[in-house]
Structures are given as structure tokens and as C-alpha cells.
């Protein structure tokens, strides 16, 4: 039996959405029910809200695996969608191999993410990335990659060191992206095996 504790007295939060599970929801998992009934909220965001104790079932905290019986009152607290994340300029040293008005070639060190992941928030997961360093060093970059990936045409895994091309404007971004998609860029990988 799933045990939940009451939160309405100890955790004052603003109610944003309340729904009643219909009889057809019987035996469905809470997270699956919410995903199917709230198409504007991503599955990842629903799971995040549940883990942050912002989903109450009959005023009690619950788990994603809770099996509904039908008739439960489900309340979502907090923002259904997190605020859009923006990359922030950070003073991080860069090894610039080449630079002109359109592009830069950076030697990315191992252990550095190119950009924050889709699950990143305003915390440490959105800090210390190559994008943070690029924004500090260059200021404005191509906007084609969006707020989290300005100037990023391709990427290297976090554990991989190597050269990465950065587009300083939209025209160079489009041209570089086309060359990558046509496989006109020659890539060479060297691996060290111990």
C-alpha cells in the first residue's frame, strides 16, 4: 500500500490546475494519466512536478506509479512549464585555434559540456558549458541554435576533447550546417586506450 503524507498545511503552494480522474482512469498510473490528459505538458515536466511534490492526489503527495481508482482529485501546484532557460555568459578560458568574422574554431577540453541539456534549469547544469564561455568571449553568436545553443553547429560529447566549429552569425551557421548535413566536413577521431 502506498503511503502519502499530507502537504496542504506544511507546504503552501498556489493551485494551478485541478482535475478529477474519470472512472476510465481506474488502474492507470498517475504519470501516464496526466501525460494523456495534459498534452500541453511534457512527460518529463509531469515527472519533475511529481518528484518535486507538486502533484497532489486527494490533497496528498504521491508517486508516479500510483494506480488510480477513478474519482480522485488531482491538483498540480507550481508552474506547468518551467520558465525558458537562457544560456548565461561566464568567464571561462577558451583555447581559440582560429577566428574570423564568421566562425571560430575552439579546442574543447574533455569534461566540458557543449551546451546545457534539455532538462537543465537555472542551476549548475546551465553553468560551465562551452556556450557559457563563448557568450562571454564573443558576445553575440548565431541565433539559429536557439537560446541554449547559440552558435553551435555540431557538438562533441562531454568526455571528448577536440575542435568544434562555432558560427558567429546566421549565414555562416546555415552554410556550416549544410556542409555537415552533406557530410562534406572531414572528421578524424583519435582514441587513447589504456
Is the pLDDT higher at 88 or at 153?
Answer: 153
pLDDT digits (tens, 9 = 90+) for 14-26: 667 889 999 999 9
Q: Are residues 120 and 177 in the same domain?
A: yes
pLDDT at 44: 77
Exposure string over 66-75, b if 16+ CB within 10 A, otherwise e: bebeeebebb
pLDDT digits (tens, 9 = 90+) for 99-141: 999 999 999 999 999 988 765 656 556 788 999 999 999 998 9
Q: Are residues 100 and 70 in the same domain?
A: no
Structure confidence at residue 47 as a pLDDT band (50, 70, 90): confident
| Region of poorest pLDDT, from 6-10, 70-74, 153-157 | 6-10
Q: Are residues 71 and 105 in the same domain?
A: no
- 85 within some domain: no
Q: Which long-range contacts (CB under 8 A, 24 or more apart) does 152-160 make?
A: 152/114, 152/115, 153/177, 153/180, 154/180, 154/185, 155/114, 155/115, 156/108, 156/114, 158/110, 158/111, 158/112, 158/113, 158/114, 159/110, 159/111, 160/108, 160/110
Q: Are residues 68 and 101 in the same domain?
A: no
User: Is residue 98 predicted with pLDDT exceeding 60?
Assistant: yes
Q: For all residues of the chain together, what is the average pLDDT? A: 84
Is the distance from CB of 108 to CB of 156 less than 8 angstroms? yes
pLDDT at 173: 94
Per 3-state DSSP, the chain is made up of helix, strand and coil in percentages (nearest 5) of 25, 20, 60
User: Is residue 86 predicted with pLDDT exceeding 50?
Assistant: yes
pLDDT at 8: 44
User: Is residue 9 predicted with pLDDT exceeding 80?
Assistant: no
Is the pLDDT higher at 83 or at 33?
Answer: 33
Active site residue 157: yes
User: Is residue 13 predicted with pLDDT exceeding 60?
Assistant: no
Total domains in the fold of the chain: 2
- 27 within some domain: yes
Which residues on neighbouring strands pair with residue 173, listed in sequence order? none
Domain termination site, one of 49, 77, 105: 77
CATH number at residue 72: 3.10.290.10
User: Is residue 172 predicted with pLDDT exceeding 50?
Assistant: yes
Q: Are residues 171 and 119 in the same domain?
A: yes
Q: What average pLDDT does this structure show over 170-189? A: 92
**Among the options 27, 100, 102, 157, which is catalytic?**
157
User: Is residue 194 predicted with pLDDT exceeding 90?
Assistant: no
Q: Are residues 61 and 27 in the same domain?
A: yes
Structure confidence at residue 84 as a pLDDT band (50, 70, 90): low
Q: Are residues 139 and 168 in the same domain?
A: yes
By residue range, what is the domain housing residue 46?
A: 15-77
pLDDT at 183: 92
Burial class (CB in 10 A: 0-12, 13-18, 19+), 130: buried
Chain mean position to CA 123: 12
Q: Are residues 171 and 121 in the same domain?
A: yes
Amino acid at each position: 500500500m502506498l503511503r502519502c503524507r499530507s502537504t496542504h498545511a506544511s507546504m503552501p503552494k498556489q493551485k494551478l490546475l485541478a482535475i478529477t480522474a474519470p472512472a476510465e482512469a481506474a488502474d492507470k498510473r498517475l504519470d501516464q494519466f496526466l501525460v494523456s490528459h495534459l498534452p500541453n505538458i511534457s512527460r518529463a515536466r509531469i515527472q519533475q512536478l511529481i518528484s518535486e511534490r507538486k502533484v497532489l492526489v486527494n490533497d496528498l503527495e504521491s508517486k508516479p506509479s500510483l494506480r488510480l481508482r477513478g474519482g480522485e482529485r488531482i491538483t498540480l501546484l507550481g508552474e506547468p512549464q518551467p520558465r525558458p532557460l537562457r544560456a548565461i555568459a561566464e568567464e571561462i578560458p577558451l583555447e581559440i585555434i582560429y577566428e574570423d568574422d564568421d566562425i571560430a574554431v575552439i579546442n574543447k577540453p574533455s569534461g566540458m559540456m557543449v551546451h546545457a541539456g534539455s532538462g537543465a534549469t537555472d542551476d549548475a547544469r546551465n553553468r560551465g558549458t562551452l556556450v557559457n564561455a563563448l557568450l562571454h568571449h564573443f558576445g553575440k553568436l548565431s541565433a539559429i541554435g536557439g537560446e541554449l545553443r547559440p552558435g553551435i553547429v555540431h557538438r562533441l560529447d562531454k568526455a571528448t576533447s577536440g575542435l568544434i566549429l562555432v558560427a558567429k552569425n546566421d549565414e555562416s551557421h546555415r552554410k556550416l550546417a549544410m556542409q555537415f548535413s552533406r557530410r562534406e566536413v572531414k572528421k578524424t577521431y583519435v582514441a587513447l586506450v589504456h
